[in-house]
């Protein structure tokens, strides 16, 4: 039995705690955004490490060879970081799309159950 409904911030009746306890509304979409930004922070740390490695290679050698060696390290670091950002974004978008698909399937199931309760046949 569902507890009495009250108005939520978007105007739809429902109990916030009941939705969380029964998994009626998934909060994963909001959590994915936090995970996305945390992952970008980790990728930024990797980027700073790559720049530090390039500077370390340049300072380790006392001649111009160190600077010439540091340039490929810096370019490779920038390419790796760019690839990481694109991959991380695509993984997070995949998860958001999957959870939105889950929400749509849940709505279709509710509509089908409502049609069956009324005795009508669902439309093909």
48 has a pLDDT exceeding 90: yes
pLDDT tens readout for residues 88-122: 999 999 988 888 887 788 888 888 888 888 876 65
- Is the pLDDT reported for residue 18 higher than 50? yes
CA distance to 5, 27, 49, 51, per residue, from 77 (Å)? 54, 35, 9, 7
23 Rama class: left (phi>0) / alpha (psi -120 to 50) / beta: left
Average pLDDT of 3-15?
52
pTM for the full model?
A: 0.65
Give the percent of the chain with pLDDT over 90. 28
Let me know: does 64 contact 91? Beta carbons within 8 Å. no
Residues 6 or more apart whose CB falls under 8 angstroms from that of 116 comprise: 122
Q: In the block, which residue shows the tokens 């159950």?
A: 113
Distances (CA, A) of 27 to 49, 70, 71, 81: 34, 45, 45, 29
């Amino acid at each position: 039995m569902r507890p009495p409904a009250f108005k939520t911030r978007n105007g739809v009746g429902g109990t916030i705690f009941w939705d969380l306890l029964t998994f009626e509304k998934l909060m994963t979409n909001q959590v994915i955004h936090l995970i996305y930004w945390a992952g970008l922070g980790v990728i930024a740390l990797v980027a700073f490490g790559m720049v530090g490695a390039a500077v370390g290679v340049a300072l380790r050698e006392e001649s111009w060879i160190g600077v010439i060696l540091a340039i490929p390290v810096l370019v490779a670091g920038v390419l790796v970081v760019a690839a990481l950002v694109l991959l991380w974004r695509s993984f997070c978008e995949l998860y958001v799309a999957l959870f939105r698909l889950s929400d749509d399937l849940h709505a279709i199931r509710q509509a089908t159950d409502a049609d069956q309760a009324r005795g009508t046949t669902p439309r093909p």
